[in-house]
Amino acid sequence: MEINLFIFILFSYTPFWEIIDHRWENQLHRSLHVACYYLNPMLHYHPDFKVDYEVKRGLYEYLERLVGNLDVMGKIDLQLESFKTKSGLYGTPLAQLGLKTKTPSQW
C-alpha cells in the first residue's frame, strides 16, 4: 500500500516539476548565465571545466550586447586569452590565492 501511495504522489507532482524544469532550462541557457559560468574563476580553473560551442557563443553574444563596440570587444577578447591561460595578472600568486578566498563578484 505504501508503494502505491508513493507512486501516486510522485506522479501527481510530475506536471509541476515539468513546468519548473522548463522554466529553469529557459533561464539558464541565456548569454548572461553562460558568461558568468565562463568568467567564474573557481569554475574556469577547475580541471573538469569544459568550453563548448554554446558557452563560447553565449559569452560573445553577451559581450556584443553589453559592449557593442568591436574595438573594445577585441581588447576584451585579448584579456580573455590571458584569463584562460592564467597569464599576466591572472597567473600571479595573489590571483591564485584569490581563487580560494574571493567570491566571483569580488574578482
pLDDT digits (tens, 9 = 90+) for 36-51: 888 888 888 888 988 8
* Percentage of the residues of the chain whose pLDDT score is greater than 90: 10
For 83-105, the pLDDT digits (tens) are 889 888 888 898 888 877 877 67
| Cell matching residue 68 | 557593442
15-42 burial code (b ≥16 CB/10 A, e <16): eeeeeeeeeeeeeeeebeebbbbbebbe
Model-level pTM?
0.64
